[in-house]
């Protein structure tokens, strides 16, 4: 994926440089600072009511809960703690999964030889290294899943629901 963006950037660089030589620096800065936002935004299809996400509310990033999703308008109604408002994918981002977030969701922590196990009812989540949520194993009954990349809180909520059929919300 990274190679695609590098090749695309080189292609755009050559085209813009040829046609807009005097304005190239301004355009390059726009692309460099806007590209990470495009890659980090959430997809509306991955959101469900009750998911915890972060929203950019006029420059202030707040944690919020998805109230409903409009696939037609490509927006999500989010309660950001102050008000409910419709946000576009560019204004939303994942809240990284962390020990603090798991505690807020009602998980109990159990230390084991450098690894940490988090428990909620019969659902289990293990990180091989304390504080490293880029390598996670989770299971419920015989359904076991392993992720070797960081998850967002909303992704854990959706995985928990897929496995247990019980929504995962803050108590």
pLDDT of residue 161: 96
- Please state, in angstroms and rounded to a whole number, the distance separating the CA atoms of residues 159 and 162: 5
Provide the 8-state DSSP code for 167: -
Q: CB atoms < 10 A from the CB of 141, how many?
A: 9
Question: CA angle, 147 as apex, 79 and 116 as ends, to 5°?
Answer: 85
Average pLDDT per 10 consecutive residues for the chain, totaling 171 residues: 58 57 45 43 91 91 95 95 93 95 96 94 94 94 94 96 93 78
pLDDT of residue 17: 53
- Please state, in angstroms and rounded to a whole number, the distance separating the CA atoms of residues 92 and 81: 15
- Please state, in angstroms and rounded to a whole number, the distance separating the CA atoms of residues 156 and 171: 16
Which residues, at least 6 apart from 13, have a Cβ–Cβ distance to it below 8 Å?
A: 24, 28
pLDDT of residue 39: 40
Of 116, 142, 117, nearest to 130 by C-alpha is: 116
- Please state, in angstroms and rounded to a whole number, the distance separating the CA atoms of residues 6 and 125: 36
Phi and psi (nearest 5°) for 105? Answer: -85, 0
pTM: 0.74
pLDDT of residue 37: 40
- C-alpha radius of gyration, the chain, whole number: 20
CATH of 44-94, one of 3.40.50.620, 3.40.50.720, 2.30.30.140, 3.40.50.300: 2.30.30.140
pLDDT of residue 7: 61
Provide the 8-state DSSP code for 129: S
């Amino acid at each position: 994926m990274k190679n695609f963006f590098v090749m695309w950037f080189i292609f755009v660089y050559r085209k813009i440089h040829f046609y807009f030589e005097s304005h190239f620096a301004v355009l390059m800065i726009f692309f460099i600072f806007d590209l990470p936002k495009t890659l980090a935004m959430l997809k509306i299809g991955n959101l469900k009511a009750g998911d915890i996400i972060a929203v950019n509310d006029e420059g202030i990033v707040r944690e919020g809960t998805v109230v409903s999703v409009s696939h037609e308008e490509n927006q999500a109604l989010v309660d950001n703690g102050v008000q409910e408002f419709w946000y576009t994918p560019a204004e939303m981002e994942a809240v990284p999964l962390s020990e603090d977030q798991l505690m807020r969701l009602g998980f109990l922590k159990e230390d084991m030889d450098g690894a940490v196990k988090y428990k909620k009812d019969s659902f289990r989540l293990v990180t091989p290294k304390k504080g490293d949520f880029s390598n996670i194993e989770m299971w419920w009954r015989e359904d076991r899943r392993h992720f070797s990349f960081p998850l967002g809180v909303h992704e854990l909520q959706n995985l928990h629901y897929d496995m247990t059929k019980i929504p995962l919300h803050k108590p």
